[in-house]
A and B are shown apart, each in its own frame.
Chain A
């Protein structure tokens, strides 16, 4: 019996299934990604913790939240007049109406954020700490994303969320200079497009009101 077990064990030990090359590559990449994320998390508090900018950020967030709240209520005054238990959804045959436009306060703040980010990306030179800069942008981006989500602007939140992986890729250590430059150019272009769209939306809005 012992001999048999030994034979079995030897046979099974010898049998090794080779991991497919794409999996091995994926495992290597996952360690790189985890390391890059960790570096990002470590860098963020060092770069981001300034009492003045923290207070400014809080003030901006509070103003945004207030603006979003006012904009939201302003946009849908009927809700306040409805009897209890009655919702807008039932008024529209079960289909909730999407918000018509990005709330003004949010749009204004977002415009500033996008313009600043775009400028930062254009101004990158060899002395720029790109990781810190990108993480600052990501942090601000998340604030606006949350504000958009709370302001019932899910499409805008999704667009802002889509920027994040590109930004994080830019912060990775292993990115080649040429790739980084191309990525910055792409980001700058995307931000410009978004700025134009926002400007158009707000001018349409002011014409209609």
Chain B
């Protein structure tokens, strides 16, 4: 990237060429919808371009766009499913599944992507943001309009469900 100025058109092209797979992939993990993921990256790029004078020289352009893309993806699922993150209580009750039931439900699952798809929206988004995007619980809570405790619970439940899936897969592999 050019030194001492805001990112140039060439910097953006370079970032797209080298990192757009990661942005798209991250958005896809959040939205689980290729069209929404594509729109999120598109929105993020235009947003980043229009606000490039706000870009801090100490940061990396691709990381900055990545963060904007995640926010755009969250906005898009919020728009496509209004009230999704506010319906946390109802979502929490769905955790009453026993490990045995979960085991049975996951019988046909063969990889982690499918296991991730089995999580509720809130669990998946919280898990992706916390563990894959390495956001702090406080940041996730602020972005999703939840409190930190709810975020931690969602992540905990996500991990629990994924562990069951993983265990199941391991058993299958041994067979």
Contact = CB atoms under 8 A, between A and B. Distances in A.
B45 interface: yes
A173 to B, nearest CB: 10
B151 to A, nearest CB: 15
B163 A4 contact: yes
Q: Which among A7, A12, A26 has the greatest number of chain B C-beta atoms within 10 A?
A: A12
A8 B159 contact: yes
* A interface, size bucket: 20 to 34
B131 interface: yes
A31 B45 contact: yes
A15 interface: yes
A205 to B, nearest CB: 46
Contacts of A19: 20-21, 23-25, 38, 41
B113 interface: yes
B24 to A, nearest CB: 4
Given A17-B25, A35-B49, A24 B132 contact: no
Contact of A15 (B9, B50, B112): B112
Nearest to A18: B21
Q: Which among B9, B21, B46 has the greatest number of chain A C-beta atoms within 10 A?
A: B9
A179 interface: no
B9 A32 contact: yes
A12 B116 contact: yes
Interface string B5-34: 000010011001100111111001100000
Contacts of B12: 31
A13 B128 CA distance: 10
B166 interface: yes
A34 interface: yes
Interface residues of B, number: 30
B162 interface: yes
A23 B24 contact: yes
A5 B131 contact: yes
Interface in B61-100: none
Interface of B: 9, 12-13, 16-17, 20-25, 28-29, 38, 41-42, 45-46, 49-50, 112-113, 116, 128, 131-132, 159, 162-163, 166
Given A28-B17, A31-B16, A35-B49, 16 more contacts: A4-B163, A4-B166, A7-B166, A8-B162, A8-B163, A9-B132, A12-B116, A19-B21, A19-B38, A23-B20, A23-B24, A26-B42, A27-B16, A30-B42, A31-B49, A34-B46
22 contacts: A5-B131, A7-B166, A8-B112, A8-B131, A8-B159, A12-B29, A12-B131, A15-B113, A16-B21, A17-B24, A17-B28, A18-B21, A19-B23, A20-B38, A23-B24, A23-B38, A26-B42, A27-B20, A31-B9, A31-B16, A32-B9, A35-B9
